[in-house]
Amino acid sequence: MPTKFIFVIGGVMSGVGKGASTASLGRVLASKGFQVTAMKIDPYINVDAGTMNPIEHGEVFVTIDGDETDQDMGNYERFLDEDITRENYMTTGRVYQSVINRERNMEYGGKCVQVVPHVPEEVIRRIDYVAQTKKVDFVLIEIGGTVGEYENILFLEALRMMKSRDPNSVRTILVSYLPVPPSIGEMKTKPTQHAVREAGRTGVTPDFIVCRSEETIDLPRREKLAQFCGVPANHIIAAANVSSIYKIPQIFDEQGFGDSLLASFGMKSPKSRLKEWSTLTNAIERATEEVTIGVIGKYFATGDFVLPDVYLSVLEAIKHASWSLGRKPVISWLNSEDYEQDPSKLDELKNLDGILIPGGFGTRGIEGKILAIQYAREHKIPYFGICYGMQCAVIEYARNVLGMSEANTVEMNPKANNPVIHLMENQQENVDQGKLGGTLRLGTYPCNLAPKTVTARAYGVQQIHERHRHRYEFNNDYRETLEKAGLVVSGESPDGQLVEIVEISDHPFFVGVQFHPEFQSRPLRPHPLFTAFVQAAIEK
């Protein structure tokens, strides 16, 4: 069967759940026995998400092959339960970079290189490449942003060109938002009608509309949308808010979304097999007893709003582990800067069952994190440090156990007297020359575990593979001193040169990892370290 392409575009506003919808539809199709992959198109000029502040763009999701991508790639991995590689992600910057490089190499053979058709052609080349190399039945392609924006117009043009190349291989799904203004008390379809018309102006006609809303869209409004938007009524899919995004595949399946999509291609629809998935959603329903985890970070606040999306994979990994242990996770988002301004606030940490400090960059908020780690260590609250959270744990140990009051990371203080965390070998040049995009230590690396440690017991194997994203590392000049003082190095690179995991033994759970385990946690296969951490939190 030639590959079919399903584009997912957004209407009305951003953040309505195109990623979760794409991933959930992918899961439904995969459950019918098809080979499915998903791609994300980010309209930004940034070549990758690595150079974007998480407050602006959300989490940077790292693929096994070290691409710094959009958080939706994480949704695809979690719903499809497979690793997705860099070919599946593109940005405007990346597309233009290819076109310009090709022009410099005379690959256009003297032609005048134009925004249209050469840019959309490059987009199509990338989509075709994924279809051919991954040998899939379906490629789902999510175009970031909403219709009517200037930024994603060339991607919509690529969609239109692919459709005119082979109309029966392309379908378009519009994920739209239907507000219920409190003053009116009625669900309004007009913004979605406008979105459909706006898509039409770029030559794109949605075949399906996913209706995101607070409440489920009712029959009269479904009929209205069908009539005004030229879409069959059974192609209007209700997607009201749910308590967990993992319920969406079943909600789609109950409405026959996969069946009508396949029928639109003239294909038969095998039965969906979502049994494993319903085991998950049942576990979510059953988990009522709570476990409270504090996540201490600094990228939450924007004006008066809080953005937990910045740590999306961490949040999901905590949920996966908690559900597998029959608990309902309750997560407190705590701002590390609060503890710098007023250390007495640290006392609020005693109400938590576990504390997690995720990755981070730069100097803001770091002293607050170090204070919180000291509190967790001394008050024996289970602590899990990820990347910067591990580096801060090393600094805390050096300062407060070894008495090295000037211990620091050179990221914080380049002239630190005791740089227990320093720049990785080969990174100095990047920093000096300002080559900062895509030059971190990225992607999957092996790590050997020391026997009889908390970490080794959690994983149950001797070697692991985890994803990384960092520029600084544990300074081996201090390794012996720190180990003598009780810090256990429980994981290192196979050549013994890089400390990847530290822990302490006289504590219910105190583990810091240089890598990002959250990227490998899957709803049906929680990550062993998260499970061990949440288990310790439950026991506390």
Cite the active site residues.
387, 516, 518
Q: Give the interface segment with ligand GLN, choosing from 40-48, 172-180, 197-205, 466-474 (CB under 6 A).
A: 466-474
Shortest reach from residue 478's CB to ligand GLN, in Å = 16
Which one of residues 94, 470, 507, 527 is an interface residue with ligand GLN (CB under 6 A)?
470
Give the C-alpha separation, 365 to 12, whole Å.
36
User: In whole angstroms, how close is the CB of 360 to ligand GLN at the nearest point?
Assistant: 5
Question: By CB under 6 A, which span of 143-151, 161-169, 247-255, 467-475 interacts with ligand GLN?
Answer: 467-475
Q: Which is nearer to ligand GLN, 291 or 387 (CB)?
A: 387
What's the token pair of residue 103?
Answer: 């022009």
Nearest distance from residue 67's CB to ligand GLN, in Å? 15
Query: Rounded CA gap, 511 and 493, in Å?
Result: 17
Question: Under the criterion CB under 6 A, does residue 298 sit at the interface with ligand GLN?
Answer: no
Amino acid at the residue 298: K
Give the residue, chosen from 94, 319, 377, 469, that forms a contact with ligand GLN under the rule CB under 6 A.
Answer: 469
Number of residues that bind ligand GLN (CB under 6 A): 11
Which strand ranges, in their side-by-side order, compose the sheet holding 499-503? 328-335, 290-297, 354-357, 383-386, 510-513, 499-503, 488-492, 441-449, 463-470
Task: Report d(CA 10, CA 345) in Å as an integer.
Answer: 42
Among 472, 509, 510, 530, binds ligand GLN (CB under 6 A): 472
Asked if 503 and 490 touch (Cβ cutoff 8 Å), the reply is yes
Residues 340, 312 contacting (CB under 8 angstroms): no
Choose between 354 and 359: whose C-beta lies nearer to ligand GLN: 359
Report how far residue 244's alpha carbon sits from residue 510's, in angstroms, rounded to the nearest whole number: 29
CB of 533 to ligand GLN, least distance (A): 17
- Identify whether the C-beta of residue 372 lies closer than 8 Å to the C-beta of residue 357: yes
Which stretch, 245-253, 375-383, 386-394, 492-500, contacts ligand GLN (CB under 6 A)?
Answer: 386-394
**Residues 200-239 close enough to bind ligand GLN by CB under 6 A:** none
User: Residue 263 Cβ, how far from ligand GLN at the closest point, in Å?
Assistant: 45
137's tokens: 């039945």
How many other CB atoms are there within 10 angstroms of residue 496's CB atom? Answer: 10
How far apart, in whole angstroms, are the C-alpha atoms of residue 506 and residue 281?
37
Cα separation of 418 and 400, whole Å? 13
Identify which of residues 65 and 81 has a Cβ nearer to ligand GLN in the complex.
65
Separation of alpha carbons 362 and 296, rounded Å: 15
160 part of the interface to ligand GLN, by CB under 6 A: no
Binders in 344-363 for ligand GLN, by CB under 6 A: 359-361
Q: In the complex, what is the shortest distance from the CB of residue 22 to ligand GLN, in angstroms, rounded to a whole number?
A: 26
Interface residues with ligand GLN (CB under 6 A)?
359-361, 387-388, 391, 411, 469-472
